[in-house]
Structure 1
C-alpha cells in the first residue's frame, strides 16, 4: 500500500500498517476534526485526526522509527471522541486528556488487538504507553512527532507557510540519544514561531473559542437531560451532530444555530463584563539544538528564543475573554 502525504511525500508501508489504516477504527477518524467544532463556523478549518495520525506515522518512519513505533503513532489518537477536545471542556477536564483516559478500554473493545495478533504484534506492548516511544511522544517542551506534525500541518494549511520552509525544517532534524535535535538555532526559533501560530493565533481565534463554548454547553445540557451519552461521542462528528440536532431541546437547537450565524464579538479583559472566558492547556516548546558540541535547549543559548517562549507562556496563562454585542 502506498501512503501519500502533502508534508512527507509517499511511502510504501508494511501490510500490518495498511490493514490498520483500512480498519474501521482509523477510518472513523476521517470524520473527527482536529479543531473540534470550529469547522462548523469556518469550513476551511477542516483538518482531521485521520490526516494527523497518518502524518505522525509517516514522520516516525522518515526519522527511522520501527514498525512498532509507527503502529503506535498511527493509533495514538484512535480514542478521540467526536469533536476532539470539546469533551474536555464539557467535562471541565483541564488536563485535556479524556481520550487518553479511555484509550485502553476503547482499544480492548475494538478489532485492533486481533488485527495486530494476526501479524505477530502485542497491542499491550505497543499501544498502552505512548511515552515508551521516544519519537512519538516526549514531555513538553521537547519536540516529538505528534507535536511536530500538528504544528507543521496546521501552519501549512491555515497560515500558508511555504512547503519549502517546512521541508527545510524537516531536513534540519537529527535523532541523537533518542531525542529530536535541530541542527541550528534559526530552525529552532522558526519552529517556536510556527508553534505560536497554532497554540495562540489559531487555538485562541475567537471563532474557535466560540465553537468550543457553544458545543460544550450543548453537550453538557444533553448529558443533564439525557439527550446524549458519553458513548454517543464515540461515533463521528457528523453522527454526533445529527444526534444533537434530533433532540427535542430548544436550548441545544439555539446553541447549534449560533454556529451558523455567530454574533459579533470583541476581545476584552477579565475586568470587563465578559460573556466567554477560556484558558486552554498551556503548551510551549523549547527545542533541543546542537551548540558548541553539546545538546542544549535553545532557550539557554538564544535570548531571542527565550523571549519568544516567555511571551508564549504569558499569553497562554492569560487565556481569552470575549464579549458579544
Structure 2
C-alpha cells in the first residue's frame, strides 16, 4: 500500500509499518460484511484489488494514469475467472462472476469521491494508525459511530451519527491525503515508475513479473543492469523544489467528505473543513523537484 516508498530512506515512509493490498482487501471485506451481511458485496470488496501489481499505484505512474489511478483495476474480472478455486466456490454459492467482479456497483463498497465507502474507510483508518496520527482508541471511536443511511440522492452510504466525530475523521483523512500527494510521494513514485519503464523496455522485467511480490521484483532489479539505478532510488531521502530538478508531476488529491446523519456532508456544516479542502484542491504542483540522497 505504500507504493514502494518504504524502500527509500525517507524518515516517514521507511518507518511506517507493513501494510499490504491483501490486508487492505480483507479489511474492506470485513467492513462490508459488518454493515451489510451480504456475501456478494463482501466478495466484490475482497476481490477489488486482486489484479493490483507490485508497487501498487506506481503502475498508474508508469502508464501516466496518476490523476485517475484506476489502471491497477483493469484485470479484476480476468483474474477471478482464471482462478479455478474461486470460480468453483462461487458456483457452489450460486454467485455469478458478474456479481463480484466490479465493486463499483455497490455504494457501500465504493462510490464517487469524496464520499465515504468501505474502501476509503479501510485505508484511511489503517493509515491514520500507520502515520501515527491516531491511536487505536480513536480509530475505534470513529468506527463505532458509523452506520448505514440514505443520502439525499437516495443511495445507501456509510455515514457518521455524530457530526463532531465526522468532522474530526474528515480532517484526519485530509491529513492522509496530503501525504498521498506530497512532494516526496509524487517524486518517489515517478522515480520508481521510471525504473519500471526502463526494466520493461529492456526486458529486465516482463508484465507478468509485476504480479510477483515486491521483494521478487526488487531482486530482479538488483541483479540486472538497473542495479545502480535501483540502489540510487533506495538512497532517496527527501526532495526539494529546484528549477534544475528532473521531475514535475501532478497528483490525485484524495480527501473524504463524510456524511453525518441529519447534517449532510462535513463541508456543508463545517466552514473550517470546507476551507481546508479548498486550500488542498488549489495546491499547484507545477514545479520541478530534485531528489536528495543519502548513504544507507
Q: Which residue of 2 aligns with 1:29?
A: none
Between the aligned partners of 1:279 and 1:84, the Cα distance in structure 2 is 17
Q: Distance in 2 between matches of 1:92 and 1:134?
A: 27
How far does residue 134 in structure 1 lie from its aligned partner after superposition? 1.8
Structure 1 residue 164: Cα displacement: 1.4
Contact 1:137 1:144 in 2 (8 A): yes
1:145 aligned onto 2:127: no
2:200 and 2:206 in contact (8 A); partners too: yes
1:223 CA displacement: 1.9
Residues 239 and 289 in structure 2, CA contact (< 8 A), matched pair in contact too: yes
Q: 1:112-261, aligned counterparts within 5 Å?
A: 112-127=86-101, 129-177=102-150, 178-204=156-182, 206=184, 208-247=185-224, 249=225, 252-261=226-235
Q: Where in structure 1 are there 5+ consecutive unaligned residues?
A: 1-33
Corresponding residue of 2:252:
281
Is the Cα–Cα contact under 8 Å of residues 77 and 97 in structure 2 kept in the other structure? no
Which whole-Å CA distance do the structure 2 matches of 1:319 and 1:118 have between them? 53
1:50 and 2:19 are equivalent in the alignment:
no
1:307 aligns with 2:280: no
1:4 aligns with none
Task: State the alpha-carbon separation in 1 of the partners of residues 106 and 74 from structure 2.
Answer: 18
Say whether residues 1:262 and 2:236 are aligned partners.
yes
The runs of at least 4 consecutive aligned structure 1 residues that moved more than 4 Å come to none
Question: Is the CA contact 1:286–1:297 (under 8 Å) kept in the aligned structure 2?
Answer: yes
Residue of structure 2 equivalent to 1:318: 285
Paired position in structure 1 for 2:39: 67
Q: 1:192 to 1:310 in 2, by over 3 A?
A: same
Aligned length: 280
User: Are the structure 2 counterparts of residues 209 and 83 from structure 1 closer, same or farther at C-alpha, using a change threshold of 3 Å?
Assistant: same
TM-score in terms of structure 1 length: 0.79
* Greater RCO (CA < 8 Å, at least 6 residues apart): 2
Q: TM-score, normalised by structure 2?
A: 0.86
